[in-house]
Structure 1
Amino acid sequence: MFYIPSTWEFDWTTPEGYICHYADVTNKNHRADMKTEMDGVADYMAVGNNFHSPYYRHITLDTWATLNEETINQRYADVSFVDVKNAFDIFMEERDDSRPFILAGFSQRGKSVVELLKILTPEQREKMVAAYVLGYKVTPEDVAAAPWIKGAEKNDDTGVVICYNSVSDVKYVKPIVAAPNVMSINPVNWRTDATPATLNDTITVTLDPEAKVLVLDGFDGSYLPNILNILNVGDYHGIEPWVYSECLRDNMHQRIYAYRQSKQIAGSTTNYR
């Protein structure tokens, strides 16, 4: 399991008086922020898996608040993705090559998952169980650049991308993270149509097949912090890796089992959830 944590930091000023648009991996507070997410996600993603998650110089929330994708992509490519790519290369070098792997990332790091998918070698793609793009998008340009990026269509297909964003209404779709998007799946019932599903007995989760987002009814997102008046405003960006955690945990095991069955790997009879 290679999980990439999301965006935590705002722009900050260096001791020399420069504005920095990146997290500082040597700053104990920045590392503590990233570790909070790593630990929370590991509570369910690490069950039965070897869990790896890198510290890296992610671009700041203020950078996302520009809503300028050219600026975002430039800063991201120059620094953040360099760190992620280096960490992934080390992960691939040091992992047991007999084991398959899963990619996962939330928000900004959902973007990292998409970018890693574009550069995976055929041999690496053969070893990938699935990729989880939580709270981010897969654009037509992404798929044109890497035609092997395929959206999940059910609960146990492999080598696919699980992608979703959550909103209270489609009018709150935030293009910076959710549009244009070419794929989405409901992580509660694993359907790609508008069949509703019930989460935690009280929340109805329905995929809008046209907007490619999840519409939640019965969920109170008022506790979510307003992020620079861009995210958590009508959308539920902050919940993506958390509210569906049990569904994601079980699904990862389902896909691992399906992968082992398809590849006839020794130990495929293990009782995964």
Structure 2
Amino acid sequence: MTHRTLLFFSSLIAFFSMVLLPPCMAMPPLDPSTFPGAPDYTQPEAWLAKPKALTAPVDVFFVYPTVLFNDTDWVLDPSRPDMRAAAQSTVDTQAVVFEGQANIYAPMYRQMNLAGLGLSDANAAPLQKMVHTDVWRALSHYLKYENKGRPFFLAGHSQGSMILADLILEHWGTTGAENQLIAALLIGWSLTPADLTTNPEVRMCERPDQTGCVISYNTMESGRQSVAPTLKADALAVNPLSWTMDGAFVAAEKNLGSVFFDSNAKPTAYPHFTSAQIINGGLIVQPDNVDLVTVKGGHFPEGVYHAFDYSLFYMNLKTNIAERIEAYRP
């Protein structure tokens, strides 16, 4: 984990401890010796999604967001069916935006519980090392043994985007696969100008046909930037209705369709559901029906629509994925 992310992680610790973690939540003592074994990415069971046969000329490597919220397990166990199912649900509702356009590779990794954000830096260090090591091993395996020279996307959400952001800031420029990157969708996390100065190989996307760049944004209603826990100070953002980084208001008419999924991952589309505007680093939205983006008993403050970062702009994301594939030139 980079030094800048460690500092931001410290601020998240304070935020989640005071606001989001229930007072009654009593986790067992953290003991790294009890962590589940590391996934073996040469084995099929280490992957939530991995194509049996290639159906597209490009790939996506997807890292799932936080799905572990219980008060008994510090670490997601890749061998447990219930935890696999929770992770699979994000493939079915987020990574599915790539379906039909890219071969989906989604590794299991030993994710840390949201409660890890309530630990001190020292106590959280083993968890942070574990999640970064797992995903880096998975990505390295994918690039060496699975990719075979195809163009690819990186994509994640929340904790998944945090891990991918740290890994590309640390390693991009050393993998030999940099010119194969179509784009990195690091949605639900933040990069800042200071982050980008640490690695000039990493740059933000500033137009809809740009490749080799990063797309990042965090959705919320107006005035909620200060309480959005994944929004860093000085965060950079890309507006998914214009694919630019300016502060122009983009009307809901440009929204091709927000897509929301029921408990069986059945989608329902709502065209022109929200406008979008970048203000103070946040992507400010005005949902047509706030009930659809409200999670009762959720882990984020009211008016922060983190869980719906993909859903709110689903059809625009899908259309732009096709546009960037068409624009890609090695």
Q: Same fold (TM over 0.5)?
A: yes
CA distance in 2, matches of 1:52, 1:232: 32
* CA RMSD between the two structures: 2.2
Q: Is the 8 A contact 2:224 2:304 kept in 1?
A: no
SS of the residue 1:247 aligns to: helix
CA distance in 2, matches of 1:104, 1:92: 15
After TM superposition, give the deviation of residue 232 of structure 1 in Å.
Answer: 4.5
After TM superposition, give the deviation of residue 72 of structure 1 in Å.
Answer: 8.8
Give the aligned partner of residue 63 of structure 2.
4
Q: Which of 108, 131, 134 is the matching residue for 1:55?
A: 108
Q: 1:100 and 1:153, CA in 2 relative to 1: closer, same or farther beyond 3 A?
A: same
Q: What is the CA deviation profile of residues 212-236 of structure 1, one whole-angstrom value per residue up to 9, with x for unaligned ones? A: 11111134444324434xx152210
Q: 1:225 and 1:113, CA in 2 relative to 1: closer, same or farther beyond 3 A?
A: farther
Q: 1:180 and 1:72, CA in 2 relative to 1: closer, same or farther beyond 3 A?
A: farther
Give the aligned partner of residue 287 of structure 2.
218
Verify: 1:114 aligned to 2:185, yes or no: no
CA distance in 1, matches of 2:238, 2:79: 37
CA distance in 1, matches of 2:217, 2:125: 24
TM-score by length of 1: 0.83
Q: 1:121-200 residue pairs with structure 2 within 5 A?
A: 121=174, 123-174=176-227, 176-193=229-246, 194-198=248-252, 199=255, 200=271
Q: 1:175 and 1:140, CA in 2 relative to 1: closer, same or farther beyond 3 A?
A: farther
Q: Which of 139, 156, 162 is the matching residue for 1:105?
A: 156
State the identity %.
23
Gaps of at least 5 residues in structure 2 are 1-59, 256-270
Q: What is the CA deviation profile of residues 151-183 of structure 1, one whole-angstrom value per residue up to 9, with x for unaligned ones? A: 111101111110101111133444531112442
After TM superposition, give the deviation of residue 128 of structure 1 in Å.
Answer: 0.8
SS of the residue 1:132 aligns to: strand
SS of the residue 2:105 aligns to: coil
CA distance in 2, matches of 1:173, 1:220: 23
Residue 214 of structure 1 aligns with an amino acid whose one-letter code is L
Q: Is the 8 A contact 2:187 2:218 kept in 1?
A: yes
Give the aligned partner of residue 238 of structure 1.
307
Q: 1:212 and 1:61, CA in 2 relative to 1: closer, same or farther beyond 3 A?
A: same
| Greater than 6 Å deviation, 4+ residue runs | none
Give the aligned partner of residue 76 of structure 2.
23
Q: 1:227 and 1:188, CA in 2 relative to 1: closer, same or farther beyond 3 A?
A: same
CA distance in 2, matches of 1:196, 1:72: 43
Q: Is the 8 A contact 1:137 1:177 kept in 2?
A: yes
Gaps of at least 5 residues in structure 1 are 14-19, 264-273
CA distance in 2, matches of 1:82, 1:12: 24
Q: What is the CA deviation profile of residues 41-84 of structure 1, one whole-angstrom value per residue up to 9, with x for unaligned ones? A: 243212221110011111111123x2x78469724432111111
Give the aligned partner of residue 83 of structure 1.
134
